[in-house]
A and B are shown apart, each in its own frame.
Chain A
Amino acid sequence: MKYMILIYAVFISSVADAACYASYKAKRGDPLKLHYGVMQLLDHQCTTKAATEVSALRLLPHGWILLNLLTVSLNIPTPTQKENAGENFLRY
Chain B
Amino acid sequence: MLVKISSATESRKATRWVIAAGLSGIIGLLALTGAWLLWTLPDANAFNTRVEQIFVENDSFTSKGEIKLLEILAQSGTSFSDALASYRMVIFVLMLMAAALLLAALAFLSLLLLLNRRMVSIEASGIQVSSLLISRSENLVILNNMEFQLTQAAIETLSVLAEARMDGDMLSGVELEAVIAGKPAADCDESAGATRVKRLRDSLGNQMVSALLIKNVARRGYVLAIDKDVIEMI
List B residues at the A interface (Cβ < 8 Å).
45, 48, 51-52, 55-56, 59, 62-64, 67, 70-71, 74-75, 78
Does A58 touch B at the CB level, under 8 Å? no
Question: Given A30-B48, A30-B78, A31-B78, do A25 and B71 touch, yes or no (CB 8 Å)?
Answer: no
Bound form: Cα–Cα A86–B45 in Å: 28
Q: How far does the Cβ of A85 sit from chain B's closest Cβ, in whole Å?
A: 8
Q: Is the CB of B67 within 8 A of A32?
A: no
**Residue in A30, A32, A70 whose CB lies within 8 Å of B51:** A32
Q: Is the CB of A34 within 8 A of B62?
A: no
Bound form: Cα–Cα A30–B74 in Å: 10
Q: Is the CB of A32 within 8 A of B62?
A: no
Q: Is the CB of A31 within 8 A of B56?
A: no
Interface size on A, residues (CB 8 A): 17
Q: Is the CB of B55 within 8 A of A86?
A: no
List A residues at the B interface (Cβ < 8 Å).
23, 25, 27, 30-36, 67-68, 70, 81, 84-86
Q: Is the CB of B78 within 8 A of A27?
A: no
Which residues of the other chain, B, contact A23 by a CB distance below 8 angstroms? Answer: 62
Residue of A nearest to B44 (CB): A30
Which residues of the other chain, B, contact A81 by a CB distance below 8 angstroms? Answer: 62
Q: Is the CB of A84 within 8 A of B63?
A: yes
Q: Is the CB of A34 within 8 A of B67?
A: yes
Which residues of the other chain, A, contact B74 by a CB distance below 8 angstroms? Answer: 31-32
Q: Is the CB of B62 within 8 A of A36?
A: yes
